[in-house]
Structure 1
């Protein structure tokens, strides 16, 4: 049974995820500003199409810089301090955008934002997983993707109706709000126990569980201590991610899930949303309205996922999401392919493209979107959780950069239909691998999940013993 401190755990998770909202703002900001840049090419901005695509995608270059060092520093400086460190990075990046419209300065600001994204994506999932009780860990872990979508949605809703400067100022206020609120939240009890600060770990746990004395949380504290002591019995290295069959399986699962998530194409579609739907200006809805609807359909299903993740489980939702996304993208590709052949005849049916893409976003939001972050928090022991998160963020960065950079190039040279068919192929491959490899982790403690993975190693160790000529009970 969960404790009486569920509300406090959700509050800490929400405030810890404000940097994730800033990440969503950084990705979503390009959609409403893209049309401003294009309309103003020969005036203040004076950027070519290629330069515009670099401003959009350079965020991923910055995102390559921080994950690896952050994967180690998160176990040195702590989860809370690393998250707080992103506030000045976000603030400085938006100040550069506010005070300059020069292409080089915009590129520098996007690289700084990417560096902040690398820290956020490496640190936030472990923090959320470590402050949550196992009964609600699935729903709390969805804060990562939910706040990311909310950040994108805010840009879609505000961006088209305010000036370029006003939008940048709005985004610069959020890191200040994060800094003055999250500083009062507790550090992860797991991290504090890793540093032999048991009294502080107990204090953090008492606040999160809303318990008045250490005696009331002694069982939870002992479980954390035992888990950390077992995980930290050996110092973490890169090799630990692939040193045993169980660690290799966990690492493989996470890389496949992360690759499937980003090469399903959602960030590419979101970053160019208004441009993608600008061809529908003759319909009753404008491109910015389509973008807002997409943002809503991406964000709202997160509440369903939060409710289902700890009831139905991670595995069924991941499979449903991957297969459903592939189906929707195949249909979207068929429509855009037909549009290249008979554009005039299909003009009254432009809404079909939006419906198929919107359906993709709904299905993405119930599985692939939020639950990859859940796997990042659950599949690894305490001593390698930060390193695994950092390496996975590099995988996500590379695949995201490919998606962002190639989406527009493929669309211009061949057509949107090829974009969506490529995305569908990755969803299908991901669904097959998920079916054969991903275990169910709902309702299990970190120790139970590690025991589940270690069974692979135990079976391999038992195999030679069964061949010895001795009488022993058969192991089921």
Structure 2
């Protein structure tokens, strides 16, 4: 749907400090999510080694403990799809603090596996809520020039949470680790409460004066009338018909966006990243390197965190597509090397004792390449590709899809590793990366520097020369 106004007129430069603060404090809830996801890596080896304890578990129980947040996130995503458009993006993010905090307290004082399962399921509900609300909020408050940086911060925060829990959990007891971790959702609540609500949401609810006020805060400018007009026209055009879930598949631009997101998130998870996150220490233990599995794990996630930050800082200059192509190509090579090492070690008589550094180097190589694009860009594009009237449904669908894929891949890793050998899942992950690479080269568009409205027009085949060329070859 065309919006009859120009989006390319120059506007005065403002100060984006408030945008940075809002994105930073909002993604603190993603840090908590990452800590819950990363918790199995240092904790499962401890629980599996316990003797004569109500918390002792086997490999199968441990794998269900690992994926429990993914199952909870299915419910959280469904709830968030409604809540973010009723309560608003800001309140939805604030509400995640309470279940996250409760889950850590339950873990700290748990005396049974059942309580641990419930705690991680509750954390998953909050996670599904957070990963629907936070990308939406950041995508709507950010200036196009820095939207890539701020949107990629979601992944950086998530990885930092995983790194933090591995650093803490490797050297402290499970109880102390959970109590320390419970500080983060409290910090989120105390800081994000002062941030402005999304102007898009306020315009959708008819609060134009408050939306103007928030735009002034976010942009650091007094004169935001032209942007407010642009937002109002965009919201009006996108919401003149109430969005329905089926609109994701009936409307051509929405359908195209769904295909892109499903493929990107599918390629992301089929690379094995979530399974590797859950079982990092166990993988390093099987590798048998001289370096301790705890230290190797901390190094692994430290590299992932730093590279994700680097990707966040260059994604608005380098573009989405080049980074995605580089990321999947390098990831495939690293995973193939990892699988080959374990194949030679377990299936041949070749002595690999002099090469035990290879699996550590390979996994670090994987995380370097994966973090350079595939870690953050699919989540960033979640906040870019959908119009306001179906964005909540789209993010809900994407999060449910992510949870199902991550659960299947994580269980696949554990079952296939135990049944056929650890090298098999790594070879499967390699092939998945190559398939994802083909799709990205052929179908994923570049969104660098485009406003949310321009992206919608492009997906509908209605904007610029490139969009016109696309539309001529598309069939509704």
Whether 1:384 and 2:397 are equivalent positions in the alignment is no
**Which stretch shifts more, 453-462 or 14-23?**
453-462
Q: Is the 8 A contact 2:287 2:359 kept in 1?
A: no
Whether 1:233 and 2:240 are equivalent positions in the alignment is yes
5+ long unaligned stretches in structure 2? 1-10
Q: Is the 8 A contact 2:461 2:471 kept in 1?
A: no
> Secondary structure at the residue paired with 2:96?
helix
Take 2:80 and 2:46, find their aligned partners in 1: how far apart are those partners? 35
Q: Is the 8 A contact 1:305 1:365 kept in 2?
A: yes
The alpha-carbon distance between structure 1 residues 2 and 93, as it changes in their structure 2 partners (threshold 3 A), is: farther
Displacement, 1:425? 1.5
Equivalence for 1:466: none
Q: 1:174 aligns with which of 176, 184, 198?
A: 184
Whether 1:160 and 2:170 are equivalent positions in the alignment is yes
Displacement, 1:459? 8.0
Take 1:388 and 1:162, find their aligned partners in 2: how far apart are those partners? 40
Take 1:103 and 1:344, find their aligned partners in 2: how far apart are those partners? 41
Displacement, 1:2? 7.9
Displacement, 1:172? 1.0
The alpha-carbon distance between structure 1 residues 449 and 163, as it changes in their structure 2 partners (threshold 3 A), is: same
Equivalence for 1:276: 283
Whether 1:123 and 2:129 are equivalent positions in the alignment is no
Take 1:47 and 1:360, find their aligned partners in 2: how far apart are those partners? 30
Displacement, 1:76? 1.3
> Secondary structure at the residue paired with 1:58?
helix
> Secondary structure at the residue paired with 1:310?
helix
Equivalence for 1:366: 372
Q: How do 1:48-447 residues align onto structure 2 when only pairs under 5 Å count?
A: 48-211=58-221, 213=222, 216-280=223-287, 283=290, 285-342=291-348, 345-447=351-453
Q: Is the 8 A contact 1:41 1:47 kept in 2?
A: no
The alpha-carbon distance between structure 1 residues 462 and 279, as it changes in their structure 2 partners (threshold 3 A), is: closer
5+ long unaligned stretches in structure 1? 464-476
Displacement, 1:343? 6.5
Q: Is the 8 A contact 2:54 2:113 kept in 1?
A: no
> Secondary structure at the residue paired with 2:206?
coil
Take 1:51 and 1:340, find their aligned partners in 2: how far apart are those partners? 25
Displacement, 1:53? 1.6
Take 1:334 and 1:446, find their aligned partners in 2: how far apart are those partners? 44
The alpha-carbon distance between structure 1 residues 183 and 271, as it changes in their structure 2 partners (threshold 3 A), is: same
Q: RMSD of the alignment, in Å?
A: 1.8
TM-score by length of 1: 0.93
Q: Is the 8 A contact 1:188 1:204 kept in 2?
A: yes
Displacement, 1:185? 0.5
Take 1:459 and 1:180, find their aligned partners in 2: how far apart are those partners? 49
Q: Is the 8 A contact 2:141 2:218 kept in 1?
A: yes
**How many residue pairs end up in the alignment?**
459
Take 2:458 and 2:229, find their aligned partners in 1: how far apart are those partners? 20
Task: Write the deviation string for residues 123-157 of structure 1: whole angstroms up to 9, x where unpaired.
Answer: 11111111110001011101110000000000111
Shift >6 Å, 4+ stretches: 456-463
Take 1:170 and 1:104, find their aligned partners in 2: how far apart are those partners? 22
Displacement, 1:264? 0.8
Q: 1:13 aligns with which of 23, 41, 58?
A: 23
> Secondary structure at the residue paired with 1:369?
coil
Displacement, 1:458? 7.7
Q: Is the 8 A contact 1:129 1:137 kept in 2?
A: yes
TM-score by length of 2: 0.93
Q: Is the 8 A contact 2:344 2:350 kept in 1?
A: no
> Secondary structure at the residue paired with 1:236?
coil
Displacement, 1:267? 1.3
Take 1:46 and 1:341, find their aligned partners in 2: how far apart are those partners? 32
Take 2:431 and 2:286, find their aligned partners in 1: how far apart are those partners? 26
Q: Is the 8 A contact 2:289 2:356 kept in 1?
A: no
